[in-house]
A and B are shown apart, each in its own frame.
Chain A
Amino acid sequence: MKKNHKAICINHTLFKGVVVFFLILIWGCKKETQNETPNPPVPFQGFYQPEHFPSSEQPFDVSKINEKSFALGKRLFYDPILSRDSTISCGSCHIQASAFTQHGHDVSHGIDDLLGRRNALPIQNLMWQKNFLWDGGILNLELVAINAITSPVEMDESLLNIVEKLKRSKVYPQMFKEAFGNEEITSTKMLVALGYFMALFISDKSKYDEVKRGKAQFTEQEQRGYNLFKQHCETCHKEPLFTDQSFRNNGVQHFFTIDKGRYEISLISGDEGKFKVPSLRNIEFTAPFMHDGRFPSLMDVLNHYSDGIQNYTNLDPLLINKIPLNSQEKQDIISFLKTLSDFTFIRDKRFSEF
């Protein structure tokens, strides 16, 4: 105790110096920003809760998202340094214009042109999800990326290696410092920063949302489609996220050798071939459809629900009699599904690579 006290007395003047130095620094920064922005700056928008969404599900701390940590996450998301041979970034498979899916690929296309076994999921409204991936295998938003990074058919890189590469880089040490207050680069910080970036992928500005906010109206056809949707699809694709987050088999698959779906996580027999009910937000941009990307168009999907379903093992009881729909009704449903397209989201400059 005594020893410490002494040490502090000696450093007293030093401390004062440091404090003054910081004050000057802060003052200096203030001045700079004032000078550089003649127009009032657009304030950085962090995480927010859309009023018609349920409360969020993830324990991820979004209160720490700021301009700098978001910028770091964005840089990482679009940087192929995260893959073994620096060819693939997160953005290679999650393309903004396709609501962050890999447009045109039935199953994901990764490093060395290797194919995965599943269709890339959109990245949107992650904070409202209980779990991630088609089988719900991962519970935490900031841990999902490890799956892609370490998968031999996706990015095939190790977290430790990435940390080494980031440390050697010219830009990252400074960016980590700005984002987290110190220069130390760790895989935890890297994953959290990626999480900060993705947590702000909030899609709540589709026409559907505007209708819910009372700011727009469905056309007659959209309204017919909406009614049909509520009648036939709503139980599983529950509003406003368009998923009830359960795992179900909608009759697309009857042999489960390549992919047992939810069973691989739950190990409960009866879960073979069940997959997470996917959100239908931005569905217009995310073709092809289903976990294996088997259907190229929305009409193919509706034809499946009306005619294609077979009474396979573990088929959801709701679908045993298929969903009777004529072609007009299918058109109507599709026109409703297109009201879930959020052009603001897929064009939002904050999220885009360039």
Chain B
Amino acid sequence: MKKEFKNIFQILVIALALSITACKKKDDNHNHDTPTPQQPGETEIHLENRIGNLKFYLNESYVNENGDSVKFTMFNYYVSNFEFIKEDGSSYVVPKDSCYFLVKANDMESQELHFKNIPAGKYKGVRFIIGVDSLKSAAPLEQRTGVLDPATGAQGMYWSWNTGYIFVKAEGTCPGIPDSLQNKFKYHIGLFGGYSTPTINNIKKVELLFGQNIEIKSTKKPNIHCYVNPLEMFKTPTTFDVKAQPVIMASPASKTIADNYADMIKFDHIH
């Protein structure tokens, strides 16, 4: 009897141990084992803020398309729902929950997006969205972790009174904005299209083609370097006058800014 119990315990313990090693193995994969061509690889997307050829800095003045001098104090945005386009046009969809990123101008690390376990192969581009998809925007709280946790990761990018996240949050000053507003502009752009009744959808799809095939494999980790121009939110298709509309949040005018920033991220080079 006692013996039997002991055996059961041993089996239990071994089962537990196995499950632990099984989990371990996953992370250890490409570090220790000898590489074979089929093994997945990693890649990085670097989203660097730039104005033309120059590095972008918070609290520096830049002249926008409308001729106004603007200074940003904050420039944060979400990107998510990544898929890498293979050379044959099909795509590898990154597991959704591992690719929600909040990119902040004042946090260099947040501008490096890491992707693991990408199937080895040749890729010619990447697709993603600026924003957070509608499914996640309406998901139970327990499924909103990391940068989507309203209290921690998403702090300041979550609306408490309206379902959804702020996709792009840009704040700063422009001397032409009235003193009564302390010369401040605030653009909090969100809206995922509504759940049961449709509303404005400011989710922007982005497709970046590399102009060449890049190889991802366990021994090769390409860095996809992109430039992001914050001033794009003030131009094309609409040249925007910050003085006329210094504050935009959940309102129809948000669409103008979103349509403008849809092309703010551009592929530059691979290294």
Contacts and interface: CB of A to CB of B under 8 A. Distances in A.
A15 B6 CA distance: 12
A54 B142 CA distance: 25
A327 interface: no
A268 B150 contact: no
Interface string A243-281: 000000000000000000000111110000000000000
A191 B141 CA distance: 8
Contacts of A186: 151-152
Interface stretch (A30-38, A131-139, A217-225): A131-139
Interface string A56-71: 0001110000000000
A15 B158 CA distance: 44
Closest 5 CB pairs of A and B: A159-B151, A187-B151, A8-B17, A139-B163, A146-B160
Contacts of B139: 59, 140
A280 B51 CA distance: 57
A160 interface: yes
A191 B149 CA distance: 12
A16 interface: yes
Interface in A127-151: 130-131, 133, 137-140, 142-143, 146-147, 149-151
Nearest to B138: A139
Main secondary structure of the interface of A (DSSP, over half): helix
Contacts of B199: 265-268
Interface string B232-266: 00000000000000000011100000000000000
A175 interface: no
A19 B9 contact: yes
Q: Which of B17, B144, B150, B151 has the most CB of A within 10 A?
A: B151
B161 A188 contact: no
A55 interface: no
B151 A267 contact: no
A139 B144 CA distance: 14
A267 to B, nearest CB: 5
Interface stretch (B19-27, B72-80, B175-183): B19-27
9 contacts: A5-B17, A16-B9, A19-B12, A131-B163, A140-B140, A146-B150, A187-B149, A187-B150, A267-B200
A153 B225 CA distance: 45
Contact of B162 (A19, A140, A188, A265): A265
A231 interface: no
Q: Name which of B14, B142, B252 has the most chain A CB atoms within 10 A of its CB.
A: B142
Interface stretch (B54-62, B116-124, B189-197, B213-221): B189-197
B151 A264 contact: no
A195 B195 CA distance: 21
B270 interface: no
B141 A142 contact: yes
Given A8-B17, A146-B150, 11 more contacts: A1-B25, A8-B13, A131-B163, A137-B162, A140-B163, A142-B141, A147-B161, A160-B155, A187-B152, A267-B191, A267-B252
A39 interface: no
Interface of A: 1, 4-5, 8, 12, 15-16, 19, 59-61, 130-131, 133, 137-140, 142-143, 146-147, 149-151, 158-160, 163, 186-188, 191-192, 195, 264-268
A47 to B, nearest CB: 15
Given A151-B160, A267-B252, A188 B142 contact: yes
A159 B21 contact: no
Contact of B13 (A12, A142, A160): A12
B113 to A, nearest CB: 24
Nearest to A271: B197
B26 to A, nearest CB: 12
Contacts of A192: 141-142
Nearest to A9: B17
Nearest to B20: A4
Contacts of A149: 160
B66 to A, nearest CB: 25
Contacts of B163: 131, 137-140, 143, 265
A147 to B, nearest CB: 5
B197 A266 contact: yes
Interface in B1-50: 9, 12-14, 16-17, 20-21, 24-25
Contacts of B161: 133, 137-138, 147, 151
A266 B251 CA distance: 9
A151 B24 CA distance: 44
A130 B251 CA distance: 23
Contacts of B141: 140, 142-143, 188, 191-192, 195
A133 B162 CA distance: 10
A27 to B, nearest CB: 14
Nearest to B159: A137
A59 B144 CA distance: 14
A147 B197 CA distance: 21
Given A131-B196, A187-B151, A147 B160 contact: yes
B58 to A, nearest CB: 23
Given A143-B150, A267-B252, A268-B199, A4 B160 contact: no
Contacts of B162: 137-138, 264-265
A74 B97 CA distance: 32
